[in-house]
């Protein structure tokens, strides 16, 4: 089954995830009081914009997506939209529900970490489905998300970081 996705599909997913990530972080920034955490979320939103542009540049250099046999463009777009929306925070309004549950900075940081973790896992999982020659491109997606996760964890109060470590 390996090789059913092409790197351009994964990078296209990265573009969509970065768009949604920007909106997510801007929303989180509006829900916290701490200037430091608000600035972090705004910075992460701006980085999502930069990542989106970087992924669009990568996408422009890749071969166009070839539709699977017996698929038309509309069907394939529906499939790809379903793939993107499988991300926990983007499925069935779940992200909006979780955003509405944020009552303090620690919860906001943990929600942001979950967002980054889901993105990281999505790209790592998808890396197994692309041909060997394209894995490096997907790894770039993984690396972008990993840095965000580390930064967010570093902003958590010590007792929250310890709790996360103990839960694993």
Q: pLDDT by residue (tens digit) across 84-132?
A: 666 655 555 666 777 777 888 998 999 999 888 888 888 887 777 677 7
For residue 19, tell me if it sits in a domain. Answer: yes
* Number of structural domains in the chain: 1
In the prediction, which pLDDT does 168 show? 45
Digit-coded pLDDT (tens) for 22-66? 988 998 998 899 999 999 999 999 998 998 998 888 888 877 666
Range of the domain at 120: 7-167
114-134: b (≥16 Cβ within 10 Å) or e: bbbbbbbebbeebbebbeeeb
Burial class (CB in 10 A: 0-12, 13-18, 19+), 62: middle
Residue 100 belongs to a domain: yes
How many other CB atoms sit within 10 Å of the CB of residue 146? Answer: 16
Structure tokens at 17: 């995830």
Rounded CA-CA distance 131/62 in Å is 13
**Residue 42: inside a domain, yes or no?**
yes
The answer as to whether 2 is a domain residue is no
* CATH code, 133: 1.20.1260.10
Q: For residue 1, is it within any domain? A: no
């Amino acid at each position: 089954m390996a090789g059913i996705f092409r790197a351009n599909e994964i990078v296209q997913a990265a573009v969509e995830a970065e768009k949604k990530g920007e909106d997510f972080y801007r929303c989180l920034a509006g829900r916290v009081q701490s200037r430091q955490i608000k600035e972090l979320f705004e910075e992460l939103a701006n980085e999502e914009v930069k990542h989106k542009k970087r992924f669009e540049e990568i996408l422009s250099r890749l071969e166009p997506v070839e539709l699977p046999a017996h698929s038309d463009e509309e069907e394939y777009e529906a499939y790809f939209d379903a793939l993107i929306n499988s991300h926990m925070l983007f499925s069935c309004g779940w992200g909006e529900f979780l955003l509405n549950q944020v009552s303090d900075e620690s919860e906001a940081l943990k929600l942001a970490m979950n967002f980054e973790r889901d993105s990281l896992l999505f790209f790592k999982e998808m890396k197994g489905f692309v041909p060997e020659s394209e894995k490096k491109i997907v790894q770039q997606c993984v690396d972008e998300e990993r840095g965000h996760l580390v930064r967010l964890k570093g902003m958590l109060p010590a007792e929250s970081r310890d709790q996360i470590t103990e839960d694993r």
